[in-house]
Amino acid sequence: MNPTNPSRFVSKFGGSSLAGAGQLRKVRSIIDADSRRRIIVPSAPGKRDNSDTKITDLLYLCHHAAQLGADFSSSFSRIVERFTGLESELGVDAGLAQQLEQLRADLQRGVSVDHAASRGEYLCGRLLAAWLDAEFVDPVDCVVISANGLVEPETWDLLGQRLADPERRYVLPGFYGRDAEGRVRTFTRGGSDVTGAVAARAAGAELYENWTDVSGLLMADPRIVDSPRPMAEVTYAEIREMAYMGASVLHDEAMAPVREVGIPVNIRNTNAPDHPGTRIVAQLSAETLSGTQIAGVAGKDNFAMITVGKNLMNREVGFVYRLLGVLEHNDIPFEHCPSSIDSVSVIVEARWLEDRAEQLMDEIRRTLEPDEIDYVPRIALIAIVGEEMAHTPGIAARVFGALAKGGINVRLINQGASELNIIVGVAAEDYAAAVQAIYGEFVG
C-alpha cells in the first residue's frame, strides 16, 4: 500500500447494525480493525427487537401528523429517546438535543416529507462522526439527485472533492442528497445502499462493503431450501438476474455506480465480522469458476399467463406487435413473451390482471381473432442463473431431469440472449418443490 495514497474502503452499515449501543460498538470494532475503512455510510437506526419501530417509520408518522395539524409528540418523543439514549450510552456529545429541537420546529413549520425522512440518517451520521472522531459530510452539499431519482453526474466531482483526503475518516449519511434547487431529496427506501455505491465511485474506493445482518447472499431462498449454501463470489450480471426474480439482494440502482467502474462489492455481517461474506465482482475468479456451474436459483409465484394460438400466426405480419399493443393500451407491462410457430404467450405479474382478465382477453379476441386463447391466473417462474451456463454442456438437461424426477410439469421455457439464465414456468403449487429439486441437483 502506498502510504501517500492508501487504498480506501467505503463501509455502509444498515439499520440493524446501528439499532443500539451494543451494535454500534460492533460497528466501531469493525472500522478500527482495518485502516482502509475510511468512508462510513450509516442508515438510520433500525429495530432493536420485533416490538420496536424503525426511526424512519417514526419520522414518516411525525410528518404525516404534522401535515394534518395533529399532535406528533408521542412518536417524536420516541425518536428523542432513541438518539439521546445512544448519545448517553456511548459517552459522546454530538449536539443531538439541539438538532432534535430543530427537527421538531421544522416539522411544525411544514418541511417536505423527504426532509423529514432523511433526518434519521442525518442524526445517526452526526452521532457516528462524533464517536469515531470523523469528519461529517452532509450529502446535501455534494449528492445531487435528479427528478427521476437518479444520481446527477456532477455528484462525482462534488463528492470526490469532499472526500479527497485519503488519511481522513469521513461519515456520510445514506439515503438522501439534494435536488437541483437545493432541497433535500431522498432515494427510494433502502437508498443508503445507493449512497454507499455513490461514495465508493466518487472516492475511487478499492472496495464497497455493505454490512448487514446476514453473512452474504444465499444460492436459494432459505424459506424454501433448508440452509442454502452462501455465494462466495457472484457477478454483477448474475445478481441483477437473481434480484429481478425476487432474490433478496442489492437492487440494481445500488450497484450501478460501482458496476460501471468495476468496484467490487462485499456483503458482510456485522454480527459475524470474521465471515468473508459474498463478493460481487465484474468477473469470477478461477477458483469460483471451478467450484460451481450455477450461481443460484431464484423465482416468484406471482405471475399470470395468457396464451394466444392461431394457425399460420408466423405468416401474419405484426401479430405479436398487436398483441403487445393490447397490453400497452391497458397500461400493463409484460415480463416474458415465449412463442412457437402457431402460438405466443405473454407473462405478466398477476396483480395487473386482477378483475381485468376477461376484459383483456375480449380485447385480444377482437384485435387478433385467434383460434384459441388460454388464461392461467397463477404461474411460478424460476430462474437458474450462472455466467458459465452458456459454456457448460448439459445444464438444461440437468434442470429438466431434476424437475422430471420430482414429478413437476414444465409449463414454459425461456432463455435470454445473454444466456445468463434459464427460466422455467411451473404451476404455482409446484413452486417450492421445483426450487428444491433444482437446487438439490446442482448443490445437493
Q: Considering 213, 232, 253, which residue would you say is the last residue of a domain? A: 213
The CATH number of whichever domain residue 365 belongs to comes to 3.30.2130.10
Same domain, yes or no: 199 and 325: no
Same domain, yes or no: 64 and 168: yes
Is 411 within the bounds of a domain? yes
Is 352 within the bounds of a domain? yes
- Worst-scoring range by mean pLDDT, 2-6, 12-16, 310-314, 334-338? 2-6
- 126 touches 95 (CB < 8 A): yes
H or E element, residue 381: strand 372-385
* Nearest by Cα to 400 from 378, 425, 379, 376: 425
Is 3 within the bounds of a domain? no
- Domain residue limits at 32: 9-213
- Worst-scoring range by mean pLDDT, 239-248, 328-337, 340-349, 432-441? 239-248
Same domain, yes or no: 206 and 306: no
pLDDT at 138: 97
Same domain, yes or no: 13 and 155: yes
Is 59 within the bounds of a domain? yes
Three-class secondary structure of residue 310 per DSSP: coil
Q: Is 369 exposed, middle or buried (0-12, 13-18, 19+ CB in 10 A)?
A: exposed
pLDDT at 4: 39
**Which residues make Cβ contacts (< 8 Å) with residue 138, sequence separation at least 6?**
122, 173
Is 113 within the bounds of a domain? yes
N-terminal to C-terminal alpha carbon distance within the chain: 42
For 352-372, write each residue's pLDDT tens digit. 998 899 999 999 999 999 999
Is 394 within the bounds of a domain? yes
**Which residues make Cβ contacts (< 8 Å) with residue 181, sequence separation at least 6?**
none
Cell matching residue 94 = 454530538
The DSSP annotation for 114-158 comes to: HHHHHHHHHHHHHHHHHHHT-EE--GGGT-BB-TTSPBPTHHHHH
For 200-249, write each residue's pLDDT tens digit. 999 999 999 999 988 888 889 899 999 888 888 988 888 887 877 766 66
Q: Is 391 exposed, middle or buried (0-12, 13-18, 19+ CB in 10 A)?
A: exposed
Residue type for 237, please? A
Q: Considering 179, 213, 247, which residue would you say is the last residue of a domain? A: 213
**Which residues make Cβ contacts (< 8 Å) with residue 400, sequence separation at least 6?**
410, 424
Mean pLDDT of 54-74: 96
Three-class secondary structure of residue 108 per DSSP: helix
pLDDT at 291: 66
Cell matching residue 385 = 442463473
Asked whether the predicted pLDDT for residue 111 surpasses 90, the reply is: yes
Is 368 within the bounds of a domain? yes
Q: Considering 213, 239, 259, which residue would you say is the last residue of a domain? A: 213
- Worst-scoring range by mean pLDDT, 196-200, 394-398, 413-417? 413-417
Q: How far apart are CA 171 and CA 173, in angstroms?
A: 6
pLDDT at 1: 37
Residue-averaged pLDDT of the chain: 91
How far from 282 is each of 47, 202, 245, 254, 322, CA to CA, in Å?
34, 18, 20, 15, 39
H or E element, residue 57: helix 55-67
Question: Bridge-partner residues for 373, per DSSP?
Answer: 308
- Worst-scoring range by mean pLDDT, 169-173, 332-336, 387-391, 421-425? 387-391
Is 366 within the bounds of a domain? yes
Query: Where are any strands of DSSP class E within 224-310?
Result: 233-235, 265-269, 278-281, 296-309
pLDDT at 214: 86
Same domain, yes or no: 38 and 181: yes
Q: How far apart are CA 104 and CA 444, in angstroms?
A: 56
The CATH number of whichever domain residue 41 belongs to comes to 3.40.1160.10
pLDDT at 6: 63
Pairing state of beta strands 9-13 and 207-212?
Answer: parallel
Same domain, yes or no: 32 and 180: yes
Same domain, yes or no: 188 and 308: no
pLDDT at 5: 45
Q: Is 105 exposed, middle or buried (0-12, 13-18, 19+ CB in 10 A)?
A: exposed
How many domains would you assign to the chain? Answer: 2
Q: How far apart are CA 85 and CA 73, in angstroms?
A: 17
* Nearest by Cα to 138 from 86, 89, 195: 195
Q: Which residue has the higher pLDDT, 284 or 309?
A: 309
For 144-196, write each residue's pLDDT tens digit. 999 988 899 999 999 999 999 999 999 999 999 999 999 999 997 668 999 99
Three-class secondary structure of residue 60 per DSSP: helix
